[in-house]
Amino acid sequence: MNTNGKTVMKAVIYTEYGPPEVLRLAEVEKPVPEDNEVLIRVHATAANTSDANVRGFTFVPPGFGLLPRLMFGITEPKKQIIGVTFAGEIEAVGINITRFQVGDRVFGLTGDNMGAYAEYVCVAEEGFLTTMPAGLSYEEAAAIPFGAHTALYFIRNKGQVQPGQKVLIVGASGSLGSYAVQLAKYYGAEVTGVCSTPNLDMVQELGADRVIDYTKEDFTKNGVTYDVIFDTPGKTSFSSIKDSLKENGLYLAGAGGLREFAQMAWTSLRGDKKVIAGQATEHPGDIDFLKELVESGNMKPVVGRSYPLEQIVEAHRYLDTGHKQGNVVITV
């Protein structure tokens, strides 16, 4: 659409931090790709916990507030379009692009640049971007990058899960947890998933060997021990679960704050049980690996709910309940 000589697009913007109601649909200038970028017509994105955290400025672990405020905006956001996950079609390419061409169906992450809650987004060719897995819809593809990439970071890179290990996933039915279950199984672990009653069957279908209904059983009191415990939503603590860890066991804090970072430093020096926290870093080759897992049948996306871009406020209200199943997809 052209307005006053400028090409505009629809996007969800926010000009202040706060609840879902700070998000609104607006017309903004359509981006133009740099020489090393592709312009993607976004057909689907996803509402992730990272989006909600940035929206409300709750993404900063307790004790780490000042520097992120300087980066993202002290009193109001510097970048007004959030969203990090996309699936869509390349509409234009910069002059230095060699790996992609117009018409390619692609998916990936925009990272700190955000901007995926929009009709168009520009992504660097060497960024977290690749062609979509064969046979997937845009909605299914958009459900993969954020949760699967974070799960890969913890399960493979940090947890170094090995065949025969016993792994417990807290929050096994969420975006991160559902991929953690599948990746732990891929690496040969015996997997126990923890979730609520309505999600038991789904988690079992994802490959979990055992499923614990946390409304009926406390895994910290059943006497079973694990090589790795991965708390995806940050609902437990190291002190509450350490007796459920085997000797040399690992506690992976998917939503770690200052406490977990301090415990990580302390347990690296003392004791046999370790705490590992951190933020997933994007390595371009990982998105190709995730694509291969999907195409080989070793991983599948879970779309719990889908909303049109115009209903982004409703999508974030559901996201804020903290009880979503799988991924919340936004069609554009």
pLDDT band at 5 (very low <50, low <70, confident <90, very high): low
Structural domain spans, the chain: 2-144+301-331, 146-277
Q: Are the beta carbons of 20 and 316 closer than 8 angstroms?
A: yes
**What are the phi and psi torsion angles at 195 (to 5°)?**
-160, -175
Measure the CA–CA gap between 301 and 297, rounded to whole angstroms: 11
DSSP letter (8 states) at residue 301: -
Measure the CA–CA gap between 141 and 133, rounded to whole angstroms: 7
Helix residue ranges per DSSP H, the chain: 49-56, 66-72, 138-142, 145-152, 175-186, 200-205, 238-241, 258-269, 284-295, 312-320
Measure the CA–CA gap between 72 and 308, rounded to whole angstroms: 27
pLDDT the model gives residue 3: 57
Contacts for 292 with CB less than 8 Å, ≥ 6 apart: none
Tell me: the pLDDT tens digits for 184-210? 999 999 999 999 999 999 999 999 999
Instruction: Extract the tokens encoding 150.
Output: 């974070």
pLDDT the model gives residue 74: 57
Which residues sit opposite 27 in a β-bridge?
10
Q: Are the beta carbons of 9 and 119 closer than 8 angstroms?
A: yes
Higher pLDDT, 269 or 142: 142
Number of Cβ within a 10 Å radius of residue 55: 24
Question: What's the average model confidence in pLDDT over 127-152?
Answer: 97
Name the CATH superfamily, with its identifier, for domain 146-277. Answer: NAD(P)-binding Rossmann-like Domain (3.40.50.720)
Would the CATH topology of 2-144+301-331 be identical to that of 146-277?
no
pLDDT the model gives residue 270: 73
Tell me: the pLDDT tens digits for 247-304? 999 999 877 655 655 566 567 657 788 888 877 888 879 999 999 999 999 999 999 9
Q: What is the CA radius of gyration of the chain?
A: 20
Which residues sit opposite 130 in a β-bridge?
107
pLDDT the model gives residue 298: 97
Q: Are the beta carbons of 42 and 118 closer than 8 angstroms?
A: yes
pLDDT the model gives residue 101: 97
Looking at the chain, the whole-number percentage of residues with pLDDT higher than 70 is 89
Question: What's the average model confidence in pLDDT over 8-13?
Answer: 97
Dihedral of alpha carbons 68, 174, 41, 55, sign: negative
Q: Are the beta carbons of 231 and 247 closer than 8 angstroms?
A: no
Higher pLDDT, 257 or 160: 160
At 28, the amino acid letter reads V
Contacts for 69 with CB less than 8 Å, ≥ 6 apart: 57, 60
pLDDT band at 73 (very low <50, low <70, confident <90, very high): low
Return the CATH architecture of domain 2-144+301-331: Alpha-Beta Complex (3.90)
Q: Are the beta carbons of 14 and 77 closer than 8 angstroms?
A: yes
Tell me: the pLDDT tens digits for 24-64? 999 999 999 999 999 999 999 999 988 998 898 765 555 55
Tell me: the pLDDT tens digits for 210-259? 999 999 999 999 999 999 999 998 888 888 889 999 999 999 987 765 56
pLDDT the model gives residue 83: 96
2-14 in b/e form (b: 16+ CB < 10 A) is eeeeeeebbbbbb
pLDDT the model gives residue 75: 63
CA 162 to chain centroid, in Å, comes to 23
Higher pLDDT, 163 or 323: 163
